[in-house]
Amino acid sequence: MANNLNLYSKCSIAKYVNENGEETSEDKAFVGIEYTQDDVKVYFPLGYEIPKDDDECRKSIITLLRTISLSKNIINQEVKLNDQLQEDYAFPMSAYLWLIRDYFTNGIYQSKEKIIKRNSSGKMNWKRMMRETPLLSNGNFIYLEQYSEHNIAVDNIITEIHILCLNEALKRIEFLFGNFELKDSLMTFDNKDFLLNVLNNALSKTFEDHKQQLLINLRNVLLGLDINNSDQSINNYGLNGFHEVWETVIRFLFGNQEISGYTPVATYEGAGIRGNKKKHPLRLDALLLKDGVYYILDAKYYHFGLDMM
């Protein structure tokens, strides 16, 4: 992993944008990775203290990306989102991070499975041969059938898929780790359906935990591809409004009651209110039950300040 990447220079606090992606002073800030033609910019949520050390900064960026990925997964499971967010969720960030981390630990996938062939050259498989009934000749046991071990050549396809998907991951987040050489794959994303069939078939026959995780993450990369993107540009990854993530964090840390379908009505009273009292249904962020008392938690993620001229 490269040193002196100066990751801190690529980071800043949340960028304020409107619905058209134009910068604004409103409290709707983009948090995540923004790709430009020549560089990458990482935007952290308001109030975050960005580390200046490369190792610590890398950890913070990875934590941010995992948080966004997990939150998007949870949000997609809980509510119906607009098409823009659903399309953005197709960016398989968690799979990219898993593949790169696994590559540094285990390298490129190589098959460890073997097949047994009869009467062929190779390393003898004595366990399989001992199952046969030997002939007894002059006090010696003679096995007429010999069995040898051979690696499964078809698994080379998975190796090539691994290289292909790893290169795709590096294209997205290589800036975190520095440049390092990785050979080209013999496969291409043009054969996406074939590659998915290979992975699904292998997954149905695999019981090894690590290989299962590898196959799942490779499949997620393929499922997240947009091979119809003619300009081959890289989409930004993040959220316009970190408040959704903050609400999810609060709900999962403190909420212990189901909130769906529960919309209490707030009543406002004051000297300036005439006639009927104003009542508005509340959308709960989290509901906590403790010692027989219900607590309604409201996640606040605001930006306060003055525009100084």
What are the pLDDT digits (tens) for 197-240? 999 999 998 889 999 999 999 999 998 875 444 444 567 888 87
Residue 80: is its pLDDT beyond 60? no
Encode burial over 260-282: b for 16+ CB neighbours within 10 A, e otherwise. eeeeeeeeeeeeeeeeeeeeeee
User: Among 44-53, 116-125, 163-172, 259-268, where is mean pLDDT lowest?
Assistant: 116-125
Quickly state the pLDDT bin for 22 (edges 50, 70, 90).
low
pLDDT at site 87: 37
Give the H or E element holding residue 64. helix 54-78
Quickly state the pLDDT bin for 293 (edges 50, 70, 90).
very high
Q: What value does the mean pLDDT take over residues 91-105?
A: 90
Q: What value does the mean pLDDT take over residues 36-59?
A: 90
Classify residue 186 as left (phi > 0), alpha (psi -120 to 50) or beta: alpha
91 burial level (CB within 10 Å; 0-12, 13-18, 19+): buried
Decide: pTM greater than 0.95: no
Q: How many Cβ atoms sit within 10 Å of the Cβ of residue 229?
A: 10
Separation CA 241–CA 245 (nearest Å): 8
Give the model confidence (pLDDT) of 111-167 as tens digits.
765 544 454 455 554 455 455 545 555 666 555 455 455 445 457 899 999 999 999
| Contact between residue 44 and residue 50 where contact means Cβ atoms under 8 Å apart | yes
